[in-house]
Homo-oligomer: A and B are copies of this chain.
Amino acid sequence: MKSTIRDVARAASVAVSTASMALNNKPGVSEKTKKKVRMVARELCYVPNHSARSLVTNDSKCLGLMVPEIVNPFYSAIVDKMATLAEGMGYTLLLGISNNKSNQEKAFVKTFASHRVLGVIIVPMLCEKPNTEHLDILKTARIPTIFCTDYYDEWTNGVKGNYSCVMCDLEQGEYEMIRHLIKLGHKEICFVSVDMDVHFTQLRQRGYQRAYEQEGLAADENRVFFADQARFQGGYDIADVLLKQNPDAIACINDIMTIGILKRLNERGVRIPEDIAVAGFDDMMFAELAQKPISTVRQPLQRICERTLEMLDKKIKKQKGAEESGKIILEKPELIIRSTT
Which of A's residues lie within 8 Å of B, judged by CB?
A: 1-2, 45, 47-52, 54-55, 60, 69-71, 73, 76-77, 79-80, 83-84, 87, 92-95, 97, 99, 104, 107, 110-111, 113-116, 137, 140-142, 232, 259-260, 263, 266, 285-286, 289-291
Contacts and interface: CB of A to CB of B under 8 A. Distances in A.
Given A71-B76, A83-B95, A84-B97, 10 more contacts: A45-B141, A47-B113, A47-B114, A51-B115, A52-B55, A69-B80, A70-B79, A73-B76, A266-B291, A290-B291
11 contacts: A47-B114, A49-B55, A51-B51, A51-B52, A69-B80, A70-B79, A73-B73, A73-B76, A92-B111, A92-B115, A286-B289
A110 B70 contact: no
Contacts of A2: 116, 141-142
A45 to B, nearest CB: 4
Q: Give the number of copies in the complex.
A: 2
Contacts of A291: 263, 266, 290-291
A49 B57 CA distance: 13
A116 B55 CA distance: 14
B60 A51 contact: yes
Contacts of A92: 94, 111, 115
A260 to B, nearest CB: 8
Main secondary structure, interface of A, reads helix
A42 to B, nearest CB: 11
Closest 7 CB pairs of A and B: A51-B51, A291-B291, A50-B114, A45-B140, A51-B54, A47-B113, A76-B76
B77 A71 contact: yes
Contacts of A260: 289
A50 B51 contact: yes
Contacts of A76: 70-71, 73, 76
A328 B77 CA distance: 32
Contacts of A286: 286, 289
A99 B83 CA distance: 10
B232 A49 contact: no
Contacts of A45: 137, 140-141
A184 B47 CA distance: 58
Contacts of A113: 47
Contacts of A95: 83, 93, 95
A80 B97 CA distance: 8
A312 B24 CA distance: 33
Contact of A80 (B50, B71, B115): B71
Contacts of A104: 87
Nearest to A288: B232
Contacts of A142: 1-2
A152 B2 CA distance: 27
Contacts of A48: 114
